[in-house]
Amino acid sequence: MSEPLILDGAATAKAIRAEVAARATKLKEAHGITPGLAAVLAGDNPASVTYVSMKRKACAKAGITSFEHVFGADATQEEVLACIHQLNADPNVHGILVQHPMPKGLDEDEILATVDPAKDVDGIGRASLGDLVLGHPSFVSCTPQGMMTLLKRYGIDPAGKHAVVIGRSVILGKPMAIALLNANATVTICHSKTQNLAELTRQADILVAAVGRPELITGEMLKPGAVVLDAGYNRVEGRGHDVGDCHFESCAAVASAITPVPGGVGPMTIATLLEQTVAAAERSVGK
């Protein structure tokens, strides 16, 4: 096999962030609107704190105002809901990101369902998920939407292809499967209860690994020429960087196109969050 096309998420995300900054400038000049993204955080989950900090920096570079609402681990449901209602009503806030998991004692489902769908730029509220099933315009969970954008920007059309998605989480596998279906792929969703995983992955024209198991997918599990999207980022002792769900070397030897880890799917998540925030701000014009 010749070398596969490397789907460069870092470069694509950089281009998207520049586009977002240009759109933010245009909104400011034409309508006096500065896009605003509010993060709601409760407790001190280190991954959430890191993500919010990355988001803050990325917003600043893209001309998006960051708002942060940080609650202690002992926050009450009423306090958090009151904050969401206030953000829903705030015209300076166009996107609302609720960091999850929230501490036990909070009803995360109710909190997520309270976010105005027009501001649900993280795409994980029930209305956004329902709109995705309906095929209506909606904000989609940022990592799957980022993968769809990668496919699009590299000219890979899922229509008529067999896409196999491994993993069925609500933020990754399920919305990715529905988005691929909406893009006219034939879609198979595999998970921990799947028998004969390799038989299914070998049928994939497009393989999406979103399962959180380091190097689960190896080259011999792929169809030659497959497009491989690896949403895994697993900490593995003794390895210098995060490890994907795919064994890169053996998969790259078989695939026609593949995302590296890091620098593949990962950077697309925040870029997509920014893109959906500026889109929400654009849609707010004239409302």
Rule CB under 8 A: choose which of 45, 188, 218, 234 binds a second copy. Answer: 188
* Bond before 101 cis per omega within 30 degrees: yes
As a whole number of angstroms, the distance between CA 178 and CA 187 comes to 8
Residue 127 contacts a second copy per CB under 8 A: yes
> Is 122 one of the annotated active-site residues of the chain?
yes
- Is position 168 annotated in a ligand binding site? yes
Catalytic residue among 8, 99, 223, 276: 99
Closest contact distance (angstroms) between CB of 102 and a second copy is: 15
Residue 159 contacts a second copy per CB under 8 A: yes
Residue 133 contacts a second copy per CB under 8 A: yes
Rule CB under 8 A: choose which of 88, 186, 234, 250 binds a second copy. Answer: 186
Catalytic residue among 55, 119, 161, 223: 55
The answer to whether 201 and 220 are in contact (CB under 8 A) is no
> Given the rule CB under 8 A, which of 60-68, 187-195, 249-257, 263-271 is the region that contacts a second copy?
187-195
Residue 213 contacts a second copy per CB under 8 A: no
As a whole number of angstroms, the distance between CA 255 and CA 124 comes to 31
> Is 99 one of the annotated active-site residues of the chain?
yes
Under rule CB under 8 A, which residues in 89-118 are in contact with a second copy? 109, 113
Rule CB under 8 A: choose which of 170, 198, 236, 285 binds a second copy. Answer: 170
Residue 216 contacts a second copy per CB under 8 A: no
Q: How many helices (H) and strands (E) does the chain have?
A: 10, 9
Binding residues with a second copy: total (CB under 8 A): 35
Residue 125 contacts a second copy per CB under 8 A: yes
Three-class secondary structure of residue 49 per DSSP: helix
Sorted by sequence, the CB contacts under 8 Å of residue 105 that are 6+ apart come out as: 74, 77
Q: Which is nearer to a second copy, 45 or 186 (CB)?
A: 186
As a whole number of angstroms, the distance between CA 93 and CA 277 comes to 9
Catalytic residue among 8, 120, 122, 230: 122
> Is 203 one of the annotated active-site residues of the chain?
no
Residue 126 contacts a second copy per CB under 8 A: yes
Please name the residue ranges forming H helices in 9-155: 9-31, 46-62, 77-89, 108-114, 126-134, 142-153
Name beta bridge partners: 5.
257
Residue 217 contacts a second copy per CB under 8 A: no
CA distances (Å), 139 to each of 128, 133, 239, 274, in order?
A: 6, 12, 35, 12
The answer to whether 285 and 28 are in contact (CB under 8 A) is no
163: Cα within 13 Å, side-chain hemisphere: 28
CA distances (Å), 121 to each of 112, 160, 231, 284, in order?
A: 12, 29, 19, 13
Residue 175 contacts a second copy per CB under 8 A: yes
Task: List the binding residues for NADP(+).
Answer: 167-169
Positions annotated as catalytic residues are 55, 99, 122
Task: List the binding residues.
Answer: 167-169
Which residues are near a second copy by CB under 8 A? 109, 113, 125-136, 159-160, 162, 168, 170, 174-175, 178, 181, 184-191, 193-195, 200
